[in-house]
Amino acid sequence: MEEITRKSSKEKGGRRPDGRSMSGRGGEKTGVSRRSTGRRPEDGKDTGHGVEGRKSGRSRNAGRRPENGEEASRTKERMADGKSIRQRDDRKRQKSVREEEMSGSSAGSGRRRGRRKKKQKNLMTNIVLAVAFAVFCISAFQLIKICKGYYDGRSEYDKIRDLALENKKGGNDDGPRFQVDFDELLALNPDTIAWIRFDPEPAAINYPVVQGKDNEEYLHKTFSANENTLGTIFLNVDNSAGFRDENSILYGHYMNDGSMFRHLEDYKDKAFWEANPYFYIYTPDGEELVYHIYSTGEVLDTSDTYLTDFPTNDDYQKFLNMTKEVAMYDTGVEVTTADTIVTLSTCTSANNDHRFVVRGVKVREGNE
């Protein structure tokens, strides 16, 4: 009965109360039917019919899925690359920060080292300057001391000359006579034994002569017993005070200010000797001893020039021959074993072991 009823209903067209048909595949699946028509909701145009439309849609979708997968993969790769780039950038930044920190640290330590070096350099500079200043002060003090010594020594000997020397006319001499007041000299210094001078030159050699207890006493002691580098001209301790020995030796300093025996070196020049061939020694007993210079030269301080004792005439003759052989030039002055000589000795500017000597033979003696 029910079957007949459903059949008649189908025959009647199956319309709903609103008048719409309920036949076909519509029914409860109207939404599906509408999609199957192939119309797009936007403009109602036909896009195909039935299952084929859906299949073609599915095939298009199926064709797109791989593309979406590749895009996703590329996206992931891009994201991974971006992450990697960010990580690289981060690492670079971190490395840069570390380098800057290290650079700053090394720069700071470098600056500290630089400051330390600068301080050390400044310290060394200050030390050098201090030492140089100390050396300068010491040198200046020594120079002042030397100059003062020269001045004091010259002043002292000038006063002694004023006190003890005078020129006078006497006897048959037409010119002035040189006279020494030995009483004044002996009052000042009982070691006084003579006075030596050159005339006319070198006029600077014009001094009293002493003889000490040894050859060291008057090296740095003036005639008035003052401590001074000029010292005093003195006779060798082994000689007799009257200049009677074959070889009497007088010592005097070579002073840079031209005092004492400095000008003996003038006799290196033969022309100077020709103009000034004599020197004079005066004794307390009133004698004037005149010496003719016959030999000059440079010798060692250990030379036989300083011999004073000659056992035989042959020994003395050999000595006299030696003094001529070592001479700087030949004077032509004759010397025999019957003569006595005086050797004047001083230091040289060249060497401490060398001496410059001037030798004179006595040619006359007599009362002033």
pLDDT band at 26 (very low <50, low <70, confident <90, very high): very low
Reported as a single tens digit per residue, the pLDDT across 260-298 is 999 999 999 999 999 999 999 999 999 999 999 999 999
pLDDT band at 95 (very low <50, low <70, confident <90, very high): confident
pLDDT band at 368 (very low <50, low <70, confident <90, very high): low
CATH of 182-367, one of 1.25.60.10, 1.10.3720.10, 2.160.10.10, 2.40.260.10: 2.40.260.10
- Considering the chain, what is the average pLDDT of its residues? 80
Query: What was the pLDDT predicted at 91?
Result: 77
Query: What was the pLDDT predicted at 118?
Result: 75
| CB atoms near residue 163 (< 10 Å) | 13
Instruction: Give the angle 240-308-216 at the CA atoms, nearest 5°.
Output: 70
d(CA 366, CA 368): 6
Compute CA distances 333 → 189, 198, 248, whole Å. Answer: 36, 18, 19
Percent of the chain with pLDDT over 70: 70
pLDDT band at 104 (very low <50, low <70, confident <90, very high): low
Reported as a single tens digit per residue, the pLDDT across 336-353 is 999 999 999 999 977 788
d(CA 331, CA 272): 12
Instruction: Give the angle 215-219-225 at the CA atoms, nearest 5°.
Output: 110
Query: What was the pLDDT predicted at 13?
Result: 47
Query: What was the pLDDT predicted at 365?
Result: 77
pLDDT band at 89 (very low <50, low <70, confident <90, very high): confident
Q: 266 near 202, Cβ under 8 Å?
A: yes
Give the DSSP H or E segment for 296. strand 287-300
Reported as a single tens digit per residue, the pLDDT across 151-202 is 888 899 999 999 999 865 454 454 447 899 999 999 999 999 999 999 999 9
Query: What was the pLDDT predicted at 80?
Result: 65
Q: Which residues of 116-142 are buried (b: 16+ CB within 10 A; e: fewer)?
A: eeeeeeeeeeeeeeeeeeeeeeeeeee
Q: Where are the domains of the chain?
A: 182-367
Omega of the bond leading into 190 within 30 degrees of 0 (cis):
no
| Alpha-carbon torsion, ordered 90, 95, 96, 100, to 10 deg | 140
d(CA 197, CA 12): 184
- The single-letter DSSP state of residue 240 is -
Q: 364 near 290, Cβ under 8 Å?
A: yes
**Between residues 104 and 313, which one has the greater pLDDT?**
313
Q: Name the least confident of 145-149, 222-226, 273-277, 330-334.
A: 145-149
**Which has the closest alpha carbon to 158: 257, 29, 247?**
257
d(CA 251, CA 231): 10
Give the DSSP H or E segment for 120. helix 50-164
Q: Read off the pLDDT of each residue in 252-265 and give the average, rounded to a whole number.
A: 94
Query: What was the pLDDT predicted at 30?
Result: 42
**Between residues 23 and 195, which one has the greater pLDDT?**
195
pLDDT band at 103 (very low <50, low <70, confident <90, very high): low
